Amino acid sequence: MNKLHIVLKDGSKVPTNTLIWTAGVKGTSDAADFGLEAARGQRLYANEYMQAKGYEDKDIYIVGDLVHYEENGDGRPTPQIVQAAEQTAHTAAANIVAKVKNTEKHEFKSNYQGFMVSIGSKWGVANLMDKVHMAGFMAIVMKHIVNLKYFFDMRSGYYMFQYMMHEFFHIKNDRNVTRGHSSRYGNVLWSVPLRVFYGSMWLIESSKKVVGNGHYLNPTSWFGDGSWFTDKVVFPFPWLQEQVTTGASAAGAHAAEATTAATGAAGGATDAAAATATQATHFGFSYAFGENPMPVFEKMPHWFSKIMEVMMPNQDVALFMQKFMTFVEIGIALALIFGLFTWLASAATIGLTIVFCLSGMFYWVNIWFIFVAFALMNGSGRALGLDRWVIPWIQRTVGKWWYGTPRSIYGKK
Ligand SMILES: Cc1cc2nc3c(=O)[nH]c(=O)nc-3n(C[C@H](O)[C@H](O)[C@H](O)COP(=O)(O)OP(=O)(O)OC[C@H]3O[C@@H](n4cnc5c(N)ncnc54)[C@H](O)[C@@H]3O)c2cc1C
């Protein structure tokens, strides 16, 4: 039998050696020092305008958990919940403005849209406007929606982001709404080989666009035939290819001999194209020898073609874009290899892959790009990569620049 026990109000005893009491909310001891009239739990009496009782002429207002205001005169003060805190604050703010402008005062009128209690991190109950009752999973989902709305009302995308990162992706011991599926931790070191491989793949593919049919070890042979740096548009978009045809015809009018030669070459190309077109394409996720891989889209969807026509209206823009895109791809490749901004670089490759697919320039066999990119968004740049130092530095610097340096200004007692 334990020698120590706690005694409840009804006299019953609960034996224990350790007592940790976490229930109940008490006003801060600083509030007690104000000398204002206080109720239970050091809550301060306020009138319907949230003015401190007895000091109505001194412009002292009380808000939040600290308020003791009996709205219905039934001895029950405003509940110590977020909605009451916000609404009492609104009343006080409106009355400060009214005082300054010498207009009519605003009376506190509660409007509680519901009550929510979270029990642990995975379970809760919610009662919305006395109509909808929820328990368990849905109540917790509702809690997250309400919390995110709170940060949204504060116009803080930063806090919304931090909240989501913490609650859904970083929280430990499976303590979240997805039962830990979204916050499972692993050693990102294992994804480093994949990161370097994927970056190298982008580097090789983008380098081909520079080197063309030239030789990698001979820079003077670069930028020639087969490269994206010639004055030949590589995008197979009809409106750009039509311009090529029209341009060729005009040139043909001025140089008959050249046209004859070109026609011969074009005839050969057409035959080859026809032969390819008749060859059936095969759906699959890996290249099988001898098969013709199937493109994700045979031709651009109409809506995408309209967008691209605006973005790349003519050959000049297309020629600039194909060079620019090559540099972007090289940049992404190097970022992946060196683990710099890995999340962004991986996300960018997903975007590029989707654009290539929609442009009719991408095959099903390479669709793994997207899934690899998702896998690398696991912070793989933090192991053997520059993100290990760069990202914390950016977070610190931007955080200080945007929010300043947090510092306690109380609690000296
Ligand atoms: C565990 C827990 C769970 C809760 N769950 C819910 C819920 O699910 N739904 C709900 O609606 N409500 C909930 N509440 C209640 C809700 O958090 C409060 O009602 C609300 O935060 C009150 O807001 P407030 O601004 O009055 O006070 P607080 O949010 O407590 O803010 C007071 C601030 O003043 C600061 N401060 C104190 N003394 C000083 C000083 N001397 N100088 C400078 N600053 C000082 C404190 O650090 C604090 O930041 C919960 C509360 C707790 C403790």
Query: How far, in Å, is the centroid of ligand 1 from the Cα of 333?
Result: 48
Where residue 155 falls (left for φ over 0; alpha for ψ -120 to 50; beta otherwise) is left
CA atoms within 13 A on the CB side of 304: 13
How many H helices and E strands in the chain? Answer: 12, 9
**Nearest atom in ligand 1 to 81's CA:** 19
Confidence (pLDDT) at 273 = 46
Q: Who lines ligand 1 at CB under 6 A?
A: 28, 30, 64-65, 80-83, 85, 116-118, 410
333 HSE (CA, 13 A, CB side): 15
pLDDT tens, position by position, 38-85: 898 889 999 999 999 998 888 899 999 999 999 998 889 999 988 899
The predicted-structure confidence for 206-227, as pLDDT tens digits, reads as follows 999 999 999 999 999 999 999 9
Q: What is the dihedral of CA 79, 80, 81, 85, to 10 degrees?
A: 100
* One-letter amino acid for residue 335 of the chain: A
Q: Give the model's pLDDT for residue 22.
A: 79
CA 65 / ligand 1 centre spacing (Å): 7
Please choose, from the candidates 204, 224, 205, 203, the residue with its C-alpha nearest in 3D space to the C-alpha of residue 214.
Answer: 224
Global confidence as pTM: 0.68
Query: How far apart are the C-alpha atoms of 194 and 182, rounded to whole Å?
Result: 21
Distances (CA, A) of 64 to 56, 70, 85, 159, 397: 18, 14, 4, 21, 33
Contact criterion met (CB below 8 Å) for 44 and 68: yes
Architecture of domain 30-101: 3-Layer(bba) Sandwich (3.50)
CA of 303 to the centre of ligand 1 (A): 51
Residue closest by Cα to atom 46 of ligand 1: 28
Residue with tokens 């009128």: 109
Q: What are the boundaries of each domain within the chain?
A: 30-101, 114-170, 192-394
- Mutate which of 21, 25, 61, 82 for ligand 1 pocket (most atoms within 8 A of beta carbon): 82
Chain centroid, CA 182 distance in Å: 14
- Atom index in ligand 1 nearest the CA of residue 410 equals 42
Tens digit of each residue's pLDDT (9 = 90 or more) over 231-282 = 999 998 988 877 655 544 444 444 333 333 333 333 334 444 445 555 789 9
Q: Residue 99 pLDDT more than 60?
A: yes
| Structural Rg of the chain based on CA atoms | 34
Q: Give residue 23 CA to ligand 1 midpoint distance, Å.
A: 14
Tally of CA atoms within 13 A in the half-sphere of 144 that contains its CB: 19
Q: In terms of DSSP bridges, do strands 44-45 and 67-68 run parallel, antiparallel, or are they unpaired?
A: parallel
Ligand 1 atom nearest 118 alpha carbon? 8
Q: Which atom of ligand 1 is nearest to the CA of 143?
A: 8
Asked whether the beta carbons of 100 and 59 are under 8 A apart, the reply is: no
Q: Is the pLDDT of residue 228 over 60?
A: yes
